């Protein structure tokens, strides 16, 4: 299952963690977000132990969403060594996300 990022754990896991973090900013009411969810779940299983892959609900975690200027969802941030190294906005394919993960792992 994909990791659940929150305002509380984001600093420790995504910014200070020693692995690439892939954070899907989403909301339950967002149609394109529902298309991306199974892809994020699959990638979380495939990269278990190699990357932190998960979701952050923008309705429940507004602090992190505002800090990173997330205005459209889904927005997927790729964070390594505390810095955003890549970003994708909108629905996408598993192949496209895999390519970005492999480039930064």
Residues marked active site are found at 30, 33
Whether the Cβ atoms of residue 17 and residue 74 lie closer than 8 Å to each other: no
Residue 78: how many CA atoms within 13 Å on its side-chain side?
Answer: 16
Q: How far is CA 95 from the centre of its chain?
A: 15
């Amino acid at each position: 299952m994909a990791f659940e990022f929150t305002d509380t754990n984001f600093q420790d896991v995504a910014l200070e963690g020693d692995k690439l973090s892939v954070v899907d900013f989403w909301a339950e009411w967002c149609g394109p977000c529902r298309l991306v969810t199974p892809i994020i779940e699959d990638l979380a299983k495939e990269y278990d132990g190699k990357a932190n892959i998960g979701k952050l609900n923008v309705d429940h975690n507004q602090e992190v969403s505002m800090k990173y200027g997330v205005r459209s969802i889904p927005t997927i941030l790729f964070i390594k060594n505390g810095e955003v190294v890549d970003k994708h906005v909108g629905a996408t394919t598993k192949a496209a996300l895999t390519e970005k993960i492999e480039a930064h792992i």
